[in-house]
Chain A
């Protein structure tokens, strides 16, 4: 059993994969709490897809793909924030337009390259086994910045997420904080690019926080539980990927989904199973 657990990590690439997965599990799960509570899941998905042109340009120019992704993600985050703030169209429409345009630009750029097919799959679905030391430093640094901001802005983000009017009366810059959250989200997605890929990162942003939401009653606890679920999903998914020889990103997301389903059915207060039992009991009684 012990050797079964330790064997994968005798390889250096698996050690790097483990570190990368844990970083992703923690950062996505914590920033994801705000995504879930503010109903911004669509934005997470859209931002993830819209970093594609950044990756393509980085590939063409020959710089680190994550750096290209980060620049694209930050630009799109600012763009969505700016257009939806103008108030002439609704936010989800603004997101839809930016997301599709950026994705189209990415596809156009990529179609100009002949050798890109393999790397593109990695961008879309992740390839945690291919994480380099440079990637690790880059995404680790980014993760620390994002987590430090979550801590630094905790009260402000809590107030504007729960009650924007109070935030305003207390002198907070609501639009600035929202743009800040968008930027943190873009950085988080870039961190997750190598492990789960752009197609599945939305799941890591939404599924662990949603499960934690069912199990907890206060935001700080929700964040910690969500991070724990994120880490468990990442590590368990990595083992599944190693032993079953399946996609790491897919395996990680499926484990997270399984945890959510268990929480949905058996959460102490809100679990569907208990609700049904209470209902049957009250019908009988």
Chain B
């Protein structure tokens, strides 16, 4: 992964994802400001930045939920929208209607819907894939429970299982480590390790700088603009963090402490 110099043009076959000076606006305010980034197939990247830095906006633009004001977004060299392979997206927990009358199985089965399959019954292969996802996340025994009856960690596992059932090339996880128990966090990280060998590209947004530094090889520091992208050592310098977190950061005895007013959803917008 690297920042893309402006003069560089032309698709690179090995890149799963390429952003060229992408700007996304809410009204007049740019949520993402001229962000350029190239992500090779199979990379696992933590996207970090303060609240409202545009992390969720980036994901929503990637799946086509938000329009791009300027710039280009390429998936495997093709413009977003023309590329038909599935992108799996695990939403933030607060964005899901947990009172909706669906069971765990129903939600995971949605991962098997898609082009040309909206009117077909689930095939044996679909069922096997659903079952595999349920077992991999250790929620097979909950299959017929309504999602509203599960714990926070279990609920997250349901959406991870659904993402697996989609057999994606690109997996987006929006704040998967926020508000879940340790075992779910570890299960999520194990799952990501498993996806490495299958060359699934993974983008994970997180507040947890420590976790990003310890468990990800590549980090993108974002605050509307792309501040730095590279290994944790390259990215997490005092200067970069100062730029990203400015007022929320203090330096005590040579150690950097980021005071983040956690996650009351500065980046949310209407689901429908």
Contacts and interface: CB of A to CB of B under 8 A. Distances in A.
Contacts of A168: 63-65
B110 A159 contact: yes
B106 A218 contact: yes
A163 B114 contact: no
Interface in A74-123: 91
Interface residues of B, number: 29
B9 interface: no
B102 A218 contact: yes
Given A163-B110, A216-B101, A218-B106, 8 more contacts: A37-B100, A38-B272, A155-B119, A166-B110, A169-B63, A171-B84, A217-B103, A218-B101
A170 interface: yes
A58 interface: no
Contacts of B162: 166
Interface string B83-122: 0101111010001110011110011001001110011000
Interface of A: 37-38, 91, 152, 155-156, 158-159, 161-166, 168-171, 174, 178, 213, 216-219, 221-222
Interface of B: 60, 63-65, 84, 86-89, 91, 95-97, 100-103, 106-107, 110, 113-115, 118-119, 146, 162, 271-272
Which of A91, A159, A170 counts the most B-chain CB atoms under 10 A from its CB?
Answer: A170
A222 B64 contact: no
A227 to B, nearest CB: 15
A51 to B, nearest CB: 23
Contacts of A216: 101
Contacts of B115: 170-171
10 contacts: A38-B272, A162-B110, A165-B271, A166-B110, A168-B63, A169-B63, A171-B115, A178-B272, A219-B102, A221-B101
A213 B146 CA distance: 12
Which of A38, A156, A165, A168 counts the most B-chain CB atoms under 10 A from its CB?
Answer: A165
Given A155-B113, A159-B110, A159-B113, A165 B97 contact: no
A163 B88 contact: no
Nearest to A161: B100
B64 A163 contact: no
B114 A171 contact: yes
A152 B64 CA distance: 25
B79 to A, nearest CB: 15
